[in-house]
Structure 1
């Protein structure tokens, strides 16, 4: 939960780097919250109102952490647009987010693994 809150606090931070753990913990909690909201909507009989509001609320933090994750692998945030390519783009982006950090400082900053949390 700490990693999820860290991303939300840095919701407009497109600068710097985000390690794998930060990115994937954010994705995990976002997915879990979306599932819970969907179950609530189904139980109450609502259309996708809660899930839609939540998706809009986390859009900017999701973009920011994705860009920082790409920075951590040494890529520009513009690589996020690879997702617009059907099928192949999503697979390439998934591979990029699974890659390990560059071990030393790069043009986007110091390696976050070397910094205290």
Structure 2
């Protein structure tokens, strides 16, 4: 069936700074799920330790909170480049430029980037490379059935309109 949950993070990390080519939706969303499964609990524990350090004012808790936040920050920064590289490859799968990632700095415009990453890629090769799904694109005719129009040229007048010569 292709790439599964455990392989998503390793696949993205193997193409760490590779902004060229195309990536599938499944690869992108499995990486986002893996990224979230790693960073959300790490930051939750870090912020809980910080809150505990503020309430208790214990030196041990403060040092532990500082180290934990350092680990969380390092993890987030280490996964930042592969996440943007994968998002760029995802946008290239749609035939769009990675410049669209600059919308992430505009409030509420980042939802449009998430929407774009949820769309299906263009079938067949585009300017960024071959289709990662292996589909080939052959344009289909609009009408799959034979034409309803007669093949002979139309007559200038209908037969019942012709008058005998006078």
TM over 0.5: yes
**60-69 or 30-39: bigger deviation:** 30-39
The equivalent position to 1:46 in structure 2, one of 55, 65, 71, is 65
TM-score where L is the length of structure 2: 0.64
Larger helix fraction of residues: 1
- CA shift at 1:27, angstroms? 0.6
- Equivalent positions of 1:3-14 (< 5 A) are 3-14=8-19
**Of the two, which has the highest radius of gyration?**
2
Structure 2, unmatched stretches of 5+, are 1-5, 50-60, 136-166
- TM superposition shift of 1:85: 1.7
Q: Evaluate the alpha carbon distance shift between residue 74 and residue 57 of structure 1 in structure 2; reply closer, same or farther with a 3 A threshold.
A: same
Segments of 4+ in structure 1 off by > 3 A?
A: 39-45
Which of 81, 86, 98 aligns to 1:65? It is 86
CA offset digits 1:54-77 (Å, max 9, x no partner) = 011111111110100100111001
Q: TM-score, normalised by structure 1?
A: 0.88
| Structure 1: unaligned runs, 5 residues or longer | none
Are 2:40 and 1:35 equivalent residues in the alignment? yes
For CA contacts below 8 A with separation 6 or more, give which structure has more relative contact order.
Answer: 1
Q: Please, what is the CA RMSD of the aligned residues?
A: 1.7
Matches within 5 A, 1:17-32: 17-32=22-37
